[in-house]
Structure 1
């Protein structure tokens, strides 16, 4: 009997140790978007959740400010550090504010990567997402294809302190440098990722510049409010069809693809936010295991026009 009891005790101890080992190999990774009311980040969230489920030992925590508020994002990151999450993936709203929090997390032993928007001067281990300078250049190149004869154009941006958006604006300007395109005064406008405000700013650009030949939002915000975007475009829809007014917009969310198909834009240049969420989980897991990762991991771009939109709508 004593032998049986001893064997049982060993078996129980083995199970307990197995449980401890399993718990030690389970991780809580947090994805922090710029704003949770931006549908772009919903796709990154979905990628994160799906990959966490696939990996099996990962919990994806999706938490960020409801609206684009850099100070709130910084506070959320600070709270996640206090909670001792096992890793952070951050889309940076304000490089200065985020760098302080990123460095604090790294000093606390938490691996940090950025996605979508970088803080290159911080202690983050890697950036996962779009080459934003090339993204901006692609927007400018699509505009040149549509209207090589040029004209005046205006851009709509999001947060004034967002480093990824500043790179896109620079990229558009670089692509159009030396062409017959001229940027209107007051461009870019800053919508702070507010979709309603972005639609209003498109209208304001057209009102202030009646002969404007192109509007280029460097993020998809105005099209994320499809009814508002349709109301803006409708009076000029014939001009859009004839390319008198070219609408070249960033991102390729499903609602945007449908609007392009229906004649409410001329071209879209899209990112791959779902892939960002997937790769963010994979990268944080490698870092947690002590493996090396590439510092820059680009997820690619898609260019969509009326000629190929049907392939993407599928």
Structure 2
């Protein structure tokens, strides 16, 4: 089966999931305008209270003048791994909204960047032909801008999530802010580093076609270098086959760094490779800080080999986007921005923030994800 076929197969399955999620207290999907009733928020120490309150405010504004459910599409880079909680959140929100449409993503991790961007552009064209009134999307890069702009030109609002594309005409971005997220990771590692300076190995991104990856990497570098540490950056290799290359490069740096290596930081969901590299270099005690909640990251945290990980609240990324799209349709873009104001850093970016999970809290955070039914 072709890659495009695999992605549309995933869309079909997820569309069935969306249709099955009948919202509590609404109609059976017959088109009646009914008030939105949300699933109650999880009660947990990790529940983002301000975000929950902001969503409730948006829903209250929408419910002042309920409109018929809309057709929307949420186009993701993938539907598994890191993106699985996004799928869960988006599917749940579309069910509560009685929305029709697809949550679309490949069952395989992203691969060739240019090919994936081309496929995603075709997906945008397809969902528009199928009648989508609004689109949420995790863009691959600049080559998606023209397709997004074409959708906007047809009156279809577009909201980006996880990765932004500020050069496009998207209405709002929902997710972490890359520069500040990288800086937060750097600050988290600093707390575990010795007071003397040394070299920090960063498993990051230097590819200029992925601006968010570059910005996150730069944010971590800025914090660490300002504190007097030298940094060296490994360009993350996303394929499974690339794991050995990543580990070998970082191992060599740990063995030969001048000044000596004192820690590692990984900025994406494959950041557990930092812990593997430290062990391969015979330095398993070096402090490691990572991103996301990959099962292998969780295992290394339980072993004490990763000090902390930063979570990008993927479930809430997915959950927010359909509500924002519905808000734009019901009350307009400006009023939607106003309802989201507590977390808007400017007129187009909604900052979800991060959960910083220390190793001793790993099981508590896993319990939180279980409450949401959003484990990665």
Query: Is 1:207–2:234 an aligned residue pair?
Result: no
SS in 2 for 1:289: helix
**Alpha carbons of 1:20 and 1:216: their partners in 2 closer, same or farther (altered >3 Å)?**
closer
Which residue, out of 226, 230, 233, partners 1:178? Answer: 226
| TM-score, normalised with respect to structure 1 | 0.80
**Structure 2 CA distance for aligned equivalents of residues 162 and 214 of structure 1:** 25
SS in 2 for 1:146: coil
**Structure 2 CA distance for aligned equivalents of residues 178 and 234 of structure 1:** 28
SS in 1 for 2:353: coil
Q: Is the 8 A contact 1:257 1:312 kept in 2?
A: no
**Structure 1 CA distance for aligned equivalents of residues 107 and 177 of structure 2:** 24
Query: Is 1:129–2:175 an aligned residue pair?
Result: yes
Query: Is 1:157–2:195 an aligned residue pair?
Result: no
**Alpha carbons of 1:19 and 1:201: their partners in 2 closer, same or farther (altered >3 Å)?**
closer
Listed as ranges, the matches of 1:52-67 within 5 Å are: 52-64=94-106, 66=108, 67=110
CA shift for structure 1 position 197: 1.8
Query: Is 1:221–2:266 an aligned residue pair?
Result: no
Q: Which has the larger radius of gyration?
A: 1
Residue equivalent to 2:357: 304
Deviations 1:138-191 (A, max 9, x none): 11101111104332122223682222211101110121132231122xx23132
**Structure 2 CA distance for aligned equivalents of residues 312 and 85 of structure 1:** 36
Residue equivalent to 1:49: 91
Q: Is the 8 A contact 1:88 1:112 kept in 2?
A: yes
Query: Is 1:28–2:57 an aligned residue pair?
Result: no
**Structure 2 CA distance for aligned equivalents of residues 65 and 81 of structure 1:** 22
| TM-score, normalised with respect to structure 2 | 0.67
Query: Is 1:278–2:319 an aligned residue pair?
Result: yes
Query: Is 1:142–2:142 an aligned residue pair?
Result: no
Listed as ranges, the matches of 1:211-290 within 5 Å are: 211=257, 212-223=261-272, 232=277, 234-235=279-280, 239-241=283-285, 245-253=286-294, 255-290=296-331
**Structure 1 CA distance for aligned equivalents of residues 131 and 30 of structure 2:** 21
SS in 1 for 2:156: coil
Q: Which moved more, 1:165-174 or 1:59-68?
A: 59-68
CA shift for structure 1 position 255: 4.7
Q: Is the 8 A contact 2:250 2:277 kept in 1?
A: no
**Structure 1 CA distance for aligned equivalents of residues 106 and 148 of structure 2:** 15
Q: Is the 8 A contact 1:28 1:61 kept in 2?
A: no
Q: Which moved more, 1:114-123 or 1:295-304?
A: 295-304
Query: Is 1:99–2:110 an aligned residue pair?
Result: no
Flag structure 2 segments of 5+ consecutive residues without an equivalent: 1-28, 34-66, 338-347, 368-376
